[in-house]
Amino acid sequence: MDLVAAFAAIEDRTSSTIGVTDTNPFPEEEERILSRVDAGLHGGLSFTYAHPGTASRPAESFPWASSIVVAAVPYLEAGDGERDDRTVARFADGDRYDYLRDVLEQIASELAGRGHRIEIVFDDNRLVDRPLALRAGVAWSGKSTMTLTPGAGPWILLGSVVTDAKIPVSEPMQRTCGTCDACIPACPTDAIISPGVLDARLCISAVLQRRGTIDPALRSKIGSRIYGCDDCLVACPPGQPALRRHTPAATVLNPEHVLTVEDEELERIADRWYVPSRRMRFVRRNALVALGNSGDESSLELLAAYLSSEDDLLSSHAAWAIGRIAGPPARAILQSALRTVTSEIVRAELVAAIAAAERGGVYADESSGRHPPTKPSASTQEAAR
C-alpha cells in the first residue's frame, strides 16, 4: 500500500481529513500576521504572532523536510450537545488532543515504517497551522477565521507530521462560506470585525486567556464563561449536524467550585488550559466575573471573602461582581469595604460597583463593550501582573 492509500485508510478509520503540502513559505500569511500586529488586532497574544517569520517559513524550523502531512480531526464527544450555560469551551473540556495525537501517531507510524524521518507538530509556534490546512486541502477558511471541514464544520483540531518523504501534494479545497455569515452576529462582542478578520482584544476566548485586568466594558459580555467561548462555532451551519449528534453535558464547571477549591485541584481542572504563568489567580478572576453575571445573591458571602483578598486583581473583580449582583445586601458589603480598603485600584472598583448596584447592577461602561478596550492605567497594569 502506498502512502496516499495508507493515509486514506487512516481517514476512514478516524473520520479525519488528511492532506499533504510542501514546505514552501507562506509570504501572504506572514504579511497578514504583521498587519494584524501593527493594528493591535492580535490583542497581545503571542503564539505565531510572536515570530511570524519563523511560523510562516516551515523550512527554517525543518530544513530537512520535504513534505508536511496535515490532519483535521473532529473532537466533539458525548456531552458536547447544545447547552446554553456551558462555562468551558468544548475543545478545553478534558483532553481533546488525545484523539489528535492518536491520528498523528498513525500517520507518523506509516512514514517511520518506510524509513522516513518524522516530527509530529501541533499547537506549535513554528508552524502556521490554519494556512497549512488550507494549502493541504483538508479545510476551508470560515468568516470567523476558523477552519472548517465537511461533516465536522469548525469542530476540528489541526496537527501535522513533518517528514523528509516526498509525497504528492493535495489540491486546496474548493469551498467557501458563500453568503453565510451566521458566525458574525453570533459573537457577543462583535470581535469578528469583518469576514475573516478577528479583533482578539474583543474575543472572549482570548480575553479569558490573557493576564491582567479584564476590561470592565467586556465583563458583562462574558456571561457564565470561565474558559473559552463557542458562540461562533455553535452558530456555524456546517457544524450544527455534528453538534446535534451529541447529548448535552449533564453538569458544567460552576464558578463557585473554581473559587472554593485549593490551587492543586484547580490546576488539575485547568491542566490543559493556557493560563498565564500557570497562575490560578487568572482562572479565579474569570470565575469572579462569571459569578457576578449569574446575579445570584447567595454568592455574596463568597464574593465578600474575595473582596478581602490581598490580591488586588481578585478583590477588584470581586467588587465588580458584587456591584453586578446589586440589591441592598450587595450595597452594604461594598460600602463597608470602601471604608477600610486602601488600595487605589480596589477603591476605584468599589466606587464604580456602588454606582452600578444603585442602578440595579448596570455599569456605565457596558455600552462600550463592543469597541476595542483602552490601554489600562499604569496602576491597573501593576496590580494585574
User: 308-353, pLDDT tens digit by residue?
Assistant: 999 999 999 999 999 999 999 999 999 999 999 999 999 999 999 9
SS3 71: strand
Distance CA 90, CA 126 (A): 25
Which pLDDT score is estimated for 378?
Answer: 40
Per-residue confidence at 385, pLDDT binned at 50, 70, 90?
low
Whether residue 114 is predicted with pLDDT greater than 70 in this model: the reply is: yes
312 versus 371: the higher-pLDDT residue is 312
Which pLDDT score is estimated for 383?
Answer: 47
Yes or no: say if 370 and 189 are a contact pair by the CB < 8 Å rule: yes
Residue range 372-379: average pLDDT?
42
Question: Which contacts qualify for 336-343: CB closer than 8 Å, 24 or more apart?
Answer: 337/304, 337/307, 337/308, 341/315, 343/312, 343/315, 343/316, 343/383
Q: Look at residues 373, 52, 372, 50 and name the one whose alpha carbon lies nearest to residue 193.
A: 372
Distance CA 201, CA 45 (A): 9
Distance CA 193, CA 185 (A): 10
Q: Where are the alpha helices (DSSP H) in the chain?
A: 3-14, 27-39, 52-55, 58-61, 97-112, 129-135, 183-186, 204-207, 216-222, 231-234, 240-244, 255-260, 263-269, 281-294, 300-307, 312-325, 328-338, 344-358, 378-384
Which pLDDT score is estimated for 62?
Answer: 97
Whether residue 28 is predicted with pLDDT greater than 50 in this model: the reply is: yes
Range with lowest mean pLDDT among 101-105, 156-160, 369-373: 369-373
| Residue boundaries of the structural domains of the chain | 3-76+90-163, 255-373
Distance CA 61, CA 165 (A): 16
Distance CA 137, CA 18 (A): 8
User: 130-173, pLDDT tens digit by residue?
Assistant: 999 999 999 999 999 999 999 999 999 999 999 999 999 999 99
Yes or no: say if 285 and 315 are a contact pair by the CB < 8 Å rule: no
Classify domain 255-373 by CATH number.
1.25.10.10
Per-residue confidence at 43, pLDDT binned at 50, 70, 90?
confident
DSSP notation for 277-299: GG-THHHHHHHHHHHHHHT-GGG
